[in-house]
Amino acid sequence: MTKNSPKRVVDSLIHINTRVCRAGMICEKHTSLTIGDFSVTTLPHSFKRIRLNLARSKEFPQGSTRHGYEFVAPLDDKGHIDEAQWRQHRDNCRVRRFWEGEDDQTGFLVHRPGGAEHGRWLFDYNPKRADDDESGYRFGAHAFRQGEYVSISGADGEMHTYQVASVQDAT
């Protein structure tokens, strides 16, 4: 193989990072792949991509698929957000807010102490500002299963109801 052969160039761009789990075995659930400047992380199977669509309201009598959220979070067997898994992978718990006529907002799923549930879940779009946070009403108690309803208090303080449109593997 020559110094600049295509295989050597590709091999130099690809790097696989693995994490050793129980009994010294490589854990496929915690493997990341780096290709050039891009990195892909394989998350544990409990991580789900959850889509919330705006439910029926006065403004949207049929609800809306053009207004809502998509976020990644670890769910337990009952469909509740798994705080322990979130703590281990919080940087991978991302959210995208989509609202027709506005630019998408991207941020993180964040857990803050306090409240009736001994903590509250919110979407944080800018860690340097608190006025852009959107708080999930009793997110810790809700099961994220298709067809269920959840409420989110927007940055403007107004509460909206959303229907869980889909829950899919994030990996």
24-45 residue pLDDT tens: 444 444 444 444 455 556 788 8
> 163 pLDDT band (50/70/90 cuts)?
very high
pLDDT in tens, 41-58: 678 889 999 999 999 999
The bridge status of strand 159-169 relative to strand 149-153 is antiparallel
Check pLDDT > 50 for residue 16: no
Cα gap 70→96, rounded to integer Å? 5
What's residue 101's pLDDT?
A: 95
- The mean of the pLDDT values for the chain is 80
Secondary structure (H, E, C), the chain:
CCCCCHHHHHHHHEEEEEEECHHHCEEEEEEEEEECCEEEECCCCCEEEEEEEECCCCCCCCCEEEEEEEEEEEECCCCCECHHHHHHCHHHCEEEEEECCCCCEEEEEEEECCCCCCCEEEEECCCCCCCCCEEEECCCCCCCCCCCEEEEECCCCCEEEEEEEEEEECC
Edge-first strand listing for the sheet containing 26-35: 14-20, 26-35, 38-41
Q: Is the pLDDT of residue 115 over 90?
A: no
Higher pLDDT, 11 or 125: 125
pTM reported for the whole predicted model: 0.74
